[in-house]
Amino acid sequence: MNRYLRVIVIIITLHIFETFGSDCPIGWHHFYRSCYMFSNDAYDWLLAESSCRAHDARLVEIESQEQYNYLVNSTLLIGADVDYWIGGRDDVTEGIWKWAFSNRNFSYIAWGPGEPNSYHEHENCLVTADKYHWLWDDRRCSESHNFICERKYPESVIESIPLVPSIVG
Interval 125-157: pLDDT, tens: 999 999 999 999 999 999 999 999 999 986 654
Q: Which of 22, 26, 25 is nearest to 14 (CA)?
A: 22
Q: Which of 56, 38, 106 is nearest to 115 (CA)?
A: 106
- Are 36 and 152 spatial neighbours (Cβ–Cβ below 8 Å)? no
Q: What is the pLDDT of residue 3?
A: 56
Is residue 168 over pLDDT 80?
no
> Within its chain, how far is the Cα of 18 from the centroid?
20
Class of the 31-153 domain?
Answer: alpha beta
Domain positions in the chain are: 31-153
- From CA 58, how far away is CA 52, in angstroms rounded? 5
- Are 149 and 56 spatial neighbours (Cβ–Cβ below 8 Å)? no
Q: Is the pTM of this model over 0.85?
A: no
Give per-residue pLDDT as tens, 17-71: 444 445 899 999 999 999 999 999 999 999 999 999 999 999 999 999 999 999 9
Q: What is the pLDDT of residue 119?
A: 82
Q: What is the pLDDT of residue 2?
A: 62
H runs (alpha helix) in the chain: 2-21, 45-54, 65-78, 155-159
